[in-house]
Amino acid sequence: MKFPVLTAAAAGLASAASLPSSFQELEADVASVAARAVANYIQRDLPNAPDGYTPTNVTCPSPRPTIREANALSTNETDWLEIRRNVTLAPMKDLLTRLNLTGFDTTSYIDAHSSNISNIPNIAIAASGGGYRALTNGAGGLKAFDSRVTNTTNAGQLGGLLQSATYVAGLSGGSWLVGSMFVNNFSSIAELQASNKVWNFDKSLLEGPDYDDIQIVSTVEYWKDITEQVAGKADAGFNTSFTDYWGRALSYQLVNSSDEDGGPSYTWSSIALMDDFKAGAYPMPLVVADGRNPNEYIITDNATVYEVNPWEFGSFDPTVYAFAPLQYLGSRFVNGTVADNASCVRGFDNAGFIMGSSSTLFNEFLLDINTTSIPTILKEALTDILDDLGERNDDIAIYSPNPFYDYRDSSETYATTKDLNVVDGGEDGENIPLQPLIQPERAVDVIFAIDSSADTDYYWPNGTSLVATYERSLDRTGIANGTAFPAIPDQNTFVNLGLNSRPSFFGCDPKNISGKAPLVIYLPNSPYTYDSNFSTFTLTYTDEERDSVITNGWNVVTRGNGTVDENFPQCVACAILQRSTYRTNTSLPTICTTCFTDYCWNGTLNSTDPREYNPSILIASSGALKTVADYSVVVLASVLALFWAL
């Protein structure tokens, strides 16, 4: 292990001419260099599909897998929650203590109510879609929330919020972020940045990966391997779509496989088998996608929202209201069961396919091979692929056979088709994956909603996703199905009142909400230290661009580490505790009244057409080190310390 550390040291010194803009960034850079040797050896330990990317017949377990009604959480989830919720107590106390809520003993409060875990704050994090912009901006948020990352446990910082959370949900580009973290053994963002095996976005996934600046395979060989893997699935009798190719390509960038092949054997359900997850050491990952019935081309506001969790695939929506065991997707379920004389199937839930299912928006872009910047050599390969695909497959992921076929003898469209079509989770307008988190059964108190949407002409968010979720929740007797959501203003109001340029809280007073809804902390992408408004379809980022967007995302969720508002950390503590203290009839301190006045939307509307929204960078760079030599000495000292430790 010592030789890779020296290699990392040399790399750090060689890059020292590129000075960070502040001491905070310097410390992060030093930690990144020091972690690089370790990060490059982080491997998934459960590539458990029986035959790579090809779903395979296996003997059914006893009892045989069945489809269950969505009238409760699964037994797997409820059993895991008993463990996880108690594990969150220690990091939550540490976090709230550092947030220094004036006039309130947070540790005593948590201790006093820990015997009834339902009274303890139940925290969730949601990362929106938006391609690599969403991945990197969301990564900045999760990095700031992660106590394992350097600087996040300083006074007022938000490190530990991730360790205190019960759920982390991702959609489209956000699903790539969540998937890459959890599939790679819950790696930290710093580790993923430091690795040379993943997150190398300077090479387009259209061309194939390079590691250590050497492209390991030609573009032709890269796509030949992917095509052969997908062909294996098709030859085994499973319908395929372009999402199979898209998901495989994503995996080369997001999954750290020892064979550097994008991990064709890595499944989403294997997350549930990992020891740390079973011990409740980290939150539950959720990925969101939408359903699309055959011959439908417009996704309406009441599209079925599917979730993929470590145990199941399905939906709480009344259109489906059922869940299938994830590990056995691909098995032929009819009216909820697999026939006694039939085999079960394993390996369908490939991790890349799951992430691709949530981001099929990119299929249409990639398939437009005559107008995109796809290399000529790849256009020929894609043309061959498209010859085998019908037009119906362009923008869907095919779950075949349909696990909900003839379930409950339903005449609903989803139950009468042999294939289940799934599309990008944001196509219904809900680009933040909130639906799984507002289900009453999960009893989430507060959601940190990181919005990297491109709602405006300059690719900034304007609250559209929150509006869509709120409007859906108003359909009390239909698709909302018992969910509730705080009142949300129109998009013009978001812009006119600046609700999309800073953190904004919604649902601060539960007495004003019909039903049980969480408090939503809206964290919209905004240029604090970097113009992070890349196009959704930008497929390449230099390491500098990637890391700059991540740093900006950190500043988005911390208000520039409190430099914009020194009270913001306390306001986060107030928001975390609000629902819990409401249940326990406990008064929050005076600072929380100030916080809610400053950050909660108070019902004011300004729906006039706003001016063009194109914000400027909020925080100027400062505090650069004076010399390259200073930077080199600090890097070398840190790396040598790690060297001797190893």
**Cβ-based neighbours of 191, under 8 Å, separated by 6 or more:** 35, 38, 39, 42
Quote the tokens at residue 496.
Answer: 């006119």
pLDDT tier, 203 (very low <50, low <70, confident <90, very high otherwise):
confident
- Percent helix / strand / coil, the chain, rounded to 5: 40, 10, 50
Identity (one letter) of the amino acid at 285? P
The H or E element spanning position 262 is: none
Express each pLDDT in 165-194 by its tens digit: 999 999 999 999 999 999 999 999 999 999
- Does residue 348 have a pLDDT over 80? yes
In this prediction, residue 156 carries a pLDDT of: 87
pLDDT tier, 632 (very low <50, low <70, confident <90, very high otherwise):
very low
Express each pLDDT in 564-586 by its tens digit: 999 999 999 999 999 999 999 99
Q: What is the mean pLDDT of residues 544-551?
A: 98
Q: What is the mean pLDDT of residues 473-497?
A: 94
Q: Tally the C-alpha atoms within 13 A of residue 388's C-alpha that lie toward its C-beta.
A: 15
In this prediction, residue 302 carries a pLDDT of: 72
Q: For the whole model, what pTM was predicted? A: 0.89
In this prediction, residue 215 carries a pLDDT of: 55
DSSP 146: -
**Cβ-based neighbours of 608, under 8 Å, separated by 6 or more:** 492, 496
Mean pLDDT in the chain? 86
571 close to 599: Cβ distance less than 8 angstroms: yes
Between 520 and 413, name the one with better pLDDT: 520
Give the DSSP letter string of 39-108: HTT---S----TTTTS-EEEPPPSSPPB-EESSS--HHHHHHHHHHHHHTHHHHHHHHHHHT-TT--HHH
pLDDT tier, 366 (very low <50, low <70, confident <90, very high otherwise):
low
77-91, 139-153, 630-644: least confident range: 630-644
Between 319 and 33, name the one with better pLDDT: 319
Q: What is the mean pLDDT of residues 340-344?
A: 96
- Does residue 450 have a pLDDT over 90? yes
pLDDT tier, 646 (very low <50, low <70, confident <90, very high otherwise):
very low
pLDDT tier, 630 (very low <50, low <70, confident <90, very high otherwise):
very low
CA distance 195 to 174: 20
- Does residue 15 have a pLDDT over 50? no
In this prediction, residue 298 carries a pLDDT of: 57
The H or E element spanning position 446 is: strand 446-451
- Does residue 70 have a pLDDT over 90? yes
Express each pLDDT in 304-318 by its tens digit: 999 999 999 999 999
Q: What phi-psi label fits residue 321: left (phi over 0), alpha (psi between -120 and 50 degrees) or beta?
A: left
CA distance 552 to 541: 15
Residue listed under structure tokens 């289900």: 439
In this prediction, residue 39 carries a pLDDT of: 45
Q: What is the mean pLDDT of residues 110-132?
A: 98
- Does residue 596 have a pLDDT over 90? yes
CA distances 62 to 65, 132, 374, Å, are 8, 42, 49
- Does residue 106 have a pLDDT over 50? yes
In this prediction, residue 381 carries a pLDDT of: 59
164 close to 91: Cβ distance less than 8 angstroms: yes
Query: b/e map of 428-438 (b: 16 or more CB within 10 Å)?
Result: bbbbbbbbbbb
DSSP 239: -
Quote the tokens at residue 413.
Answer: 């469209």
Identity (one letter) of the amino acid at 41? Y
- Does residue 299 have a pLDDT over 90? no
Residue count of the chain: 646
Q: What is the mean pLDDT of residues 443-472?
A: 97
DSSP 403: T
pLDDT more than 90, % of the chain: 70
118-122, 203-207, 478-482, 523-527: least confident range: 203-207
CA distance 584 to 324: 37
CA distance 304 to 319: 7
Which has the closest alpha carbon to 124: 496, 575, 479, 469?
A: 575
CA distance 122 to 167: 9
